[in-house]
Amino acid sequence: MFSHSLVELSRLLDQRSISSVELTELFLSRCQDHNQELNCFITLSPRTALEHAKAADKLINNKQHGPLTGIPFAHKDIFCTEGTRTSCGSKMLDNFQPPYDATVVKKLNQAGMVCLGKANMDEFAMGSSTETSFYGPTRNPWDLTKVPGGSSGGSASAVAARLIPAATGTDTGGSIRQPAALCGITGLKPTYGTVSRFGMIAFASSLDQGGPMTQTAEDAAMMMNAMAGFDINDSTSLERETTDYTANLNDSMDGIKIGLPKQYFSDDVDAGTIEKINDAIKQFEKGGAKIVDIELPKTALSIPSYYVVAPAEASSNLSRFDGVRFGYRAEDPKDLLDLYCRSRSEGFGNEVKRRIMIGTYVLSAGYYDAYYLKAQKVRRMIRDDFQQAFKEVDVIMGPTTSAPAFGLNELVDDPVQMYLADIFTVSVNLAGLPAISVPAGFSSGLPVGLQIIGDYFSEPRLLNLAHRFQQDTDWHKQIPEGFTE
């Protein structure tokens, strides 16, 4: 039962083969049994979850339910949840209980889903390994000595180990897709503005985007139907007609043009990863897709551009954490300046401090034009690269990451190498495009992710291609050893 997809669980609940309370108890038991070894949850909320499950069962019994009603899941601990600790993986917010729900939280509550708790993450979503969390690193269920990716590593690890059937994540530079790839699950980063950012604690406001992390593309489509939509509380939310993300899942891929960027298949990419990606592409060719070689020449500039723009926005967003209104406050400050300085220096971890300092520097007088303004110009060039490519092809494919999961503590003291782990994902955020990562096999016993990138608002096509691929493969059904019972 614990290995079932959202679609399968929805069917069982609808048929009343199992109740939401029974399902919630099952997944809570798995979370409590395995969380110590994986550390994928910061907070578990069994009492609240069971209350919501009982309410869901009433809706189901009265035939007032939707497709997601009664299904357990978890939120990344970046979404404000009324009355429940929302820490963002930081000591700064260890004692913070929001007085309101994020829009994503509210929407999934309205859909009847049952939240079991809050998943571990890199502090303020700054990291690629979930090692910067104040609550300790999360482990990859495929190999407990490896990282699960980041910053949504807790969500990815929990879904991969089948502690929960689905979770929310956020993606600023690959933080849904990269951990999805390293843990062997499906992760969708929607078009910027499609999912509300209201109540999602900000890292880099022009890059952040929430999305689903699930076993399958079909499950991701189900969650998108609940998560997406215009929100008057978010000034960057896009007002568009409602989309049914499940409507085109079974469309034919015959004649679809798939672009393969030369830059994504270089000698720097792990050979086993390339082999699995090529095998996946052959599967699409069998389905009638056409392969087109393309170039994205500004790919190499995406990392330096991102690591100017994102820290600049982070330094601004994190200025609100000053020890005065909420969050961590230093004890016995001598004066106001001492309160500010010590609250921030004690409340933030090293990676957050590093990015605040970089961001403050690139925005300072005399350096704004040299760094921040130039990075924004490069960002536009990266966007133009993609738009030129989409004149020739329908989607772009390649590896999500250049190699499988790396070891815990392997890159923690080498931030530049850690940043390079996002080489194939950050450009999508800079351009505001949608992209999905799906399991495509294993290299050296660890999962490999295939990334499919589309033009703006092409999520239905991405989900269609991913779904058709998963109908012909079973990589998404694999469960790590030790978590199969």
pLDDT tens digits, residue range 265-281?
Answer: 999 999 999 999 999 99
Residues 164-168 have a mean pLDDT of 98
pLDDT, position 417: 87
Q: For position 305, what pLDDT does the model report?
A: 97
pLDDT digits (tens, 9 = 90+) for 128-159: 999 999 999 999 999 999 999 999 999 999 99
Q: What is the pLDDT of residue 415?
A: 86
pLDDT on residue 482: 94
| DSSP structural state of residue 484 | -
Distance separating alpha carbons of residues 69 and 167, to the nearest angstrom: 15
Going by C-alpha positions, the residue among 40, 206, 203 that lies closest to residue 126 is 203
pLDDT tens digits along 354-398: 999 999 999 999 899 999 999 999 999 999 999 999 999 999 999
Please check the confidence at residue 57 and state whether its pLDDT lies above 90.
yes
pLDDT at residue 231 is higher than 90: yes
Please report the pLDDT score of residue 253 as a whole number.
Answer: 95
Percent of the chain topping pLDDT 90: 97
Q: CA-based Rg of the chain, rounded to a whole angstrom?
A: 21
The residues carrying an active-site annotation are: 76, 151, 175
Nearest to 201 by CA among 81, 68, 282, 376: 81
Contact between 152 and 179 under an 8 Å Cβ cutoff? The reply is yes
Angle, helix 103-110 to helix 217-227, in steps of 10 degrees = 110
Nearest to 311 by CA among 347, 358, 353, 371: 358
Residue 485: per-residue pLDDT: 85
Q: What is the DSSP string of 382-396?
A: HHHHHHHHTTT-SEE
Decide if pLDDT at 1 tops 90: no
pLDDT band at 33 (very low <50, low <70, confident <90, very high): very high
Query: Which amino acid type is present at position 442?
Result: F
What are the percentages of helix, strand and coil residues in the chain, rounded to 5? 40, 15, 45
Query: Residues 190, 221: contact at Cβ < 8 Å?
Result: no
Distant-in-sequence, close-in-space partners of 203: CB < 8 Å, separation ≥ 6: 124, 125, 126, 170, 172, 310, 313, 314, 317
pLDDT at 40: 98
Query: Both tokens of residue 280?
Result: 């996946």
What is the domain partition of the chain in residue ranges? 6-256+392-477, 301-376
In the DSSP assignment, the letter for residue 458 is -
Q: Where are the beta strands (DSSP E) in 372-434?
A: 395-399
Q: Nearest 5°: phi and psi at 210?
A: -85, 155
Rounded to an integer, the average pLDDT of 287-301 is 97
Instruction: Work out the percent of the chain whose per-residue pLDDT is above 70.
Output: 100
Q: Are 219 and 212 in contact (CB under 8 A)?
A: yes
65 CA to centre of own chain: 27
Query: Under CATH, domain 6-256+392-477 is a member of which superfamily?
Result: Amidase signature (AS) domain (3.90.1300.10)
Average pLDDT, stretch 109-118? 98
Q: Mean pLDDT over residues 162-167, rounded?
A: 98
> Is 459:423 a contact under the CB 8 Å cutoff?
no
Q: Which residue has the higher pLDDT, 419 or 212?
A: 212
**Cβ neighbours of 94 (radius 10 Å):** 16
291 confidence band (pLDDT: 50, 70, 90)? very high
Give pTM, 2 decimals: 0.97
Give the pLDDT score at 346.
97
Q: Which residues pair with 446 in a beta bridge?
A: 443
Q: Residue 119's pLDDT band (boundaries 50, 70, 90)?
A: very high
- DSSP class per residue in 183-249: HT-EEEEPPTTSB--TTB--S-TTT--EEEEESSHHHHHHHHHHHBS--TT-TT--------TTTTT
**Could you count the other beta carbons within 10 Å of the beta carbon of residue 325?**
8
Instruction: Please report the pLDDT score of residue 221 as a whole number.
Output: 98
- Position 356 scores a pLDDT of 97
- Long-range pairs, 237-242, Cβ under 8 A, ≥24: 237/193, 237/196, 237/197, 237/198, 238/191, 238/193, 238/194, 240/457
Indicate the average pLDDT of the chain.
97
pLDDT digit string, tens, across residues 308-328? 999 999 999 999 999 998 899
SS3 at position 59:
helix
Q: What is the pLDDT of residue 416?
A: 84
Q: What angle do CA 467, 469, 473 make, to 5 degrees?
A: 115
